Structure 1
Amino acid sequence: MKVRIKKQFLVTLFYLVTFPSFSQGWNPLPMLTQQSKAAGNMGGEGCQVISSIAIDGTGNLLLMGTDVGGLYKSTDGGINWKPCNKGFKPRGSAYTAIDPNNNNRFIVVGGNSSAWDWHGIWLSTDQGESWSNTLPKKHGIDAAPGRGYNMIAYDPSTFSGGKTNTIYWSAPSDVTNGGGLFKSTDGGQTWVNLIPTMGGSFIAVHPTKGYLYVGNSTGLYKSTNGGTSFTQLFATAILGLAVTKANPDWLYIVRSFDIELSKDAGATWTKKSGNGLPTSAANGGLGWTRIHCSPINSNLLTITNETGAWYDVPSYRSKDGGDNWIKPTYNTNYVFFPNNVAARIERPAFHPTNANIIVSCSGDWICRSTDGGDNYSFSNNGNNGVLGGYFNFNPFHNNIILICTQDYNSTLTTDGGATWKYLNVSGQGWGGFNYGGYAFNGKSMYAGNASGWSNPRFLYTSFDGGQTWTNTNLQGSGSD
């Protein structure tokens, strides 16, 4: 036994001496191609569902939440990203928000696909360097109307003592220890449940007068007294709403394949044409939903069409207040994994002073527009959230590593992680369920591949650097 202990110690010492950086902490290793590196990118594969993106009043600071990949922030207008999860216990978030009057203060609705006691409201007062769980609530991330809907709203008119004091949260409908419409009057430190039946609603606050708008399956409601009482404005289901600082009395709402605009805080309404938007949901989905408006151009809008299929959720853009719409174009250069352009709901963050700049997402990667939403391009540097499993280092070629991922096939580096190559093990193109792999050299390798979650794994081999793969029909002992 003493001999074995000594050998283990010597091996440990060897690694500490050979790789001293390990003792100093970990560095991110985002995936990127040689082409992307040559273009000056640091890389970022993304690969976790983006739930929301918040932007501050300068346009430089952004906060992005994912479903199970934690939180990221950018300090250069959404060009580069880094994690900000110190002290943040949830694996992901359902919504992110930044105090409009003090960008040191973040509010995040912690959550992921499973419900845990430490979800709920998390507050940071130092731009995400530390976090506290000020309102623990056990909930998942996909409760109706789903992740990323307008569930947090600040009342900018309540600024005092260095912070915006009044904040509303429409807690998801699956909260097991009390959902509903919550209100804080001390910047998110403490909360009260105003109306338990108003959980899972879209909410917005009038930018100057503090009116609270709530939209849900029973209709549209307005409060002029901080949520003490409400007047119902519509009795049909509301699928989205948006206000704008450019015209504070304006309020956009979305109903079933219908967009309405009020220019007098909900007193009267005008129907918008919606030209260019689909007139039905191919797979029985909600159709038009989640409308967003620029804070400085009240005619610049985005909207999502939920078809009912998770892989088909296209977004549209209007520059004339909702009468005419187009689909944006997404430049997929430098996107490492298949991008699933239409597969994810758009989460736009409009720049507060330049209407041409919008930071959003396409698939599971951040993109950025500089022409008001007509065209988007890769802006995902630093967002390295791919979920991998166990992997092995090659003892004979220490620059060669094959990593298998839960949803996105596999990836190979032959230069120690400086650049990577996407491996389409499954043959599905968009991704695949790969677990356990190894590269003998740059040509010969194997990976476990399953046809879906919880399905059996089979051994696949390649002898041409991952260009083609063969199913050996040898089944592994476990599923994904």
Structure 2
Amino acid sequence: MYGLKNIYTMINKFSSFIFILFISQLLSFRSSAQTWEAIPLVSQKILNSGNTGGEGCQWPQAIEMDHTDGSFLLFGTDVGGIYRSTNGGLNWEPCNIGYNPRGNCGFAIDPNNNNRALAVGGNSTTNQSHGLYLTTDMGASWKHVLPISNYDGFRGFKDKVAFVKGSFDAEKQASQIAYWSNPSGGIYKSENGGLAWTKVNNDFGDCILKVHPDSGFVYVANQNGFYKSTDGGKTFVKKTEASVRDIDVVLTEPNSVYLTTSNALYKSVDGGNNFVKINGTSYPANVVTLKVSPANPLRIAICNSEGDYTKPAYYSEDGGETWKKSQFDNSNAFMPFNGRTHKFCWHPTNESKIWAFGGDWITSSSNGGKIFKWDANGYTGVLVGGTINFNVSNSDLVYVASQDYNGAFTKDGGKSWNYCNASNLGWGGFTYAAYAASDKVLVTMVAPGWHQAGPITISRDGGVTFTKTNLICSGLETACGDAKDTAVIYFREYYSKDLGHTWQKMKGCNGVFIANLSGEKEVYGANGKAVVKSTDKGDTWQTVANLPENVLDVAIDPIKSRLFVVTNGNRIFRIEDSKTEELTSKIPTDQYNNKAIKTVAVDVNNPNIVFCAGPKNVYKTDASVKRSQDGGNTWEIITPNNRTNTEIPASDGANEVFGVRVNPKTRDVWCTG
């Protein structure tokens, strides 16, 4: 989640801002200061340990560290964007400005220049945003240097892109030659530092790719064997028939190549021409990844697959002769642990420091892999389930549902959170829509799968325990309170007048979006294409307006009694004095000339300030959150990007937002995704 903090008026989690999404998160944003802040899901216990928190929650696919001093790291997820650390992993932040894909499946940091790196775009489906991206400012911004649209990169763990250290240009202070094994076919080569690319080979796409640091010889490997090229990737000679799972090369031992099959480790000391099996003891039987320490190549880490969610790490301190299983300390993790395929990166000079994945978060070891500990401050990527609303009488109370990870509850406006295991499952759970009716009564819906119907589920002890009702919900994924009566709860297509003890299905409303905190204190919802309102706490509903598409969200200007309405089709309308005006044409387009409109909110303290937002899902729109300061007549993009922003600071945030709400007390804008 993210939030825009309100220095004058308003206030993202581009991915936990609560930019809770996928690219996911909670964020809060302050209107005039133009500052996006992540809202990590973090407990008071974790805060007391000296950490700021980072719940993670997106499937990790790539991690890379620089080759000089270990200060710069990049981390990629399947569909939740990319993150960076510029202080050796002490803190992480989203870094998607100019980066259009929703996910990532590989990085290469220039061994001669930490400012430069390549990123391989990916997502769960093919898209025009994929291909290669280049940064020249340590991930603060990116340029799409090689668009390739016909691959997805989903669960793409192979190392597939590399710079040649020996191609250093003293005048340009950067490596000039780089290679990429394209997942959809072929090998591409750059001879100008990654700016331009040429396809040099048609046969070795979707391979593991490494290079000899000095000579630039190219190594590729797949299930059919290990291959070497001495002519710049044009032709390859097979050097071994082994079914290769992973390979590694380290700068400090340039002629060595390490290779693993599922159950054996091999080493070459002559540039990949010949391999010798390392007859170590306790080598696991289904190894999937491998990484060697450049500071001390006797230290090696591997990941072994022992089931869909059982992926232990192993370490060796003697070059692979003996192996021990790593331990994981998850005491500072907010979310449940789920085993993932580990990718590793070793510190370039500290042989004891290694990074990996731990559940759906970042983890590190300071003792060579013996014990990995949660180490993900700033990695905020939880996907929120449905829209959020502040408690109508106390905006410090917020309950957030989550697809995959149950959800969380805060009583102090997002400073600290409690995990809410509404599903009563150990791994997480699917919840859609949530509302804190008080500091004790929390309401959500637990689904058996993504966006499926499920029962209303209630906690009466602040989220410690939950009880499922027999009421199955299939209405809009939204929940709200009533400013007239704090005992009233609107949850999807149901409402309760006694804090959830009894429920009735609403007649003429399929979900309530927002309550007017002043005036008539009415509430607004939707019934298909109709905007509806109730002035009697949900007993009856009147149609306010009929729109051309199904209604997705409503916001109210309490001073002028006008409504802003978002519908399907990425459309937005203003309803004032019984007149409906479409505002869609006024909304700025994104980098692909599309509009993203799924949610809307008004700053009730200054209702001329209106926000609308939306995701594109198959790619990351650079125009997710928009703001109007004149009641919807003109709009500006406030999601940071390198295309339109002039006042937004360089820090990333508020990407792929599908929920936006303004805290009526603090004027912070909370964005969820």
Same fold? TM cut 0.5: yes
The answer to whether the 8 A contact 1:456-1:479 is kept is: no
TM-score, normalised to structure 2's length? Answer: 0.64
State the Cα distance separating 1:17 from its structure 2 match.
4.9
The structural deviation recorded for 1:18 is 8.0
Structure 2 residue 165 is matched with structure 1 residue 156? yes
Pairing partner for 1:53 from 36, 47, 63: 63
Contact 1:46 1:380 in 2 (8 A): yes
TM-score scaled by structure 1? 0.90
Structure 2 residue 308 is the aligned partner of structure 1 residue 298: no
Distance of aligned partners of 1:157 and 1:15 in 2 relative to their CA distance in 1, 3 Å threshold = closer
Q: Distance in 1 between matches of 2:262 and 2:461?
A: 52
Match of 1:85 among 69, 93, 96: 96
The runs of 5 or more residues in structure 1 that have no matched partner are: 1-13, 280-286
**Is the 2:289–2:343 Cα contact (8 Å) retained in structure 1?**
no
Matched residues in 2 for 1:147 and 1:17: separation?
Answer: 43
Is residue 2:112 matched to residue 1:110? no
Select which of 350, 357, 378 maps to 1:361.
Answer: 357
Q: 1:85 Cα shift?
A: 1.1
- CA shift digits 1:171-206 (9 cap, x unpaired): 11xx3xxx2211111111111122222111111111
Give the 3-state SS of the residue equivalent to 1:360 in structure 2: strand
Q: Is the 8 A contact 1:105 1:124 kept in 2?
A: yes
Q: Separation in 2 of the partners of 1:438 and 1:454?
A: 17
Q: Counterparts of 1:140-151 in structure 2 under 5 Å?
A: 140-142=151-153, 146-151=155-160
Residue 140 of structure 1: CA displacement?
4.7
Are 1:269 and 2:275 an aligned pair? yes
Deviation at 1:139, TM superposition (A): 4.4
1:383-398 equivalent positions in 2, closer than 5 A? 383-388=379-384, 389-398=386-395
Distance change (3 Å), C-alpha of 1:47 and 1:274: farther
Give 2:161's aligned amino acid.
I
Q: 1:344 aligned to 2:340?
A: yes
- Contact map agreement 2:7 2:32 (CA 8 A) in 1: no
Could you list the per-position Cα deviations for residues 85-139 of structure 1 after superposition, in whole angstroms to 9, with x for gaps in the alignment?
1121111111122111111112100111121111110111111222111111124
Identity %: 39
Matched residue, 1:467 = 464
Task: Specify the code of the residue in structure 1 equivalent to 2:30.
Answer: S
Select the structure that is richer in helix: 1
- The answer (yes or no) to whether the contact 1:457–1:478 under 8 Å persists in 2 is no
Secondary structure of the corresponding residue to residue 362 of structure 2? strand
Which residues of 2 match residues 405-420 of structure 1 at below 5 A? 405-420=402-417
Mark the CA change 1:326 to 1:76 in structure 2 (over 3 Å): closer, same or farther.
same
Q: Which residue of 1 aligns with 2:398?
A: 401
Matches within 5 A, 1:119-158: 119-142=130-153, 146-158=155-167
One-letter amino acid matched to 2:63: I
Code of the aligned partner of 1:339: F
Say which is worse superposed, 226-235 or 134-143, in terms of deviation. Answer: 134-143
For residue 45 of structure 2, give the secondary structure of its aligned residue in structure 1. helix
Q: Which residue of 1 aligns with 2:327?
A: 329
Larger-gyration structure (1/2): 2
Partner of 2:371: 375
Aligned partners of 2:98 and 2:337: how far apart in 1? 31
Q: Structure 1, residues 387-419: CA drift from partner, whole Å, max 9, x if none? A: 113111101121110001111001000011110
Question: Residue 255 of structure 2 corresponds to which residue in structure 1?
Answer: 249
For structure 2, the 5+ residue unaligned runs are 1-5, 12-28, 478-673
User: Is the 1:245–1:296 contact (alpha carbons within 8 Å) kept by the matching residues of 2?
Assistant: no
* Number of aligned positions between the proteins: 450
Question: Of 167, 189, 202, which aligns to 1:196?
Answer: 202
Verify the 8 A CA contact 1:93 1:141 in the aligned structure 2.
no
Which one of the candidate residues 424, 440, 443 is aligned to 1:443? Answer: 440
Deviation, structure 1 residue 234: 1.1
3-state SS of 1:198 partner: coil
Mapped to 2, the partners of 1:98 and 1:185 lie a distance apart of: 16
* Matched AA of 1:100: P
* 2:421 corresponds to: 424
Rounded to whole Å, the distance in 1 between the matches of 2:65 and 2:33 is 32
How many angstroms does 1:336 deviate by? 0.5
Q: Is the 8 A contact 1:454 1:479 kept in 2?
A: no
Displacement of 1:16 in angstroms is 6.7
| Cα offsets for 1:138-158 (capped at 9, x unmatched) | 245446xx4231111111100
Q: Note the alpha carbon deviations across 1:290-316, whole angstroms, 9 max, x for none.
A: 211111211111112223x43122221
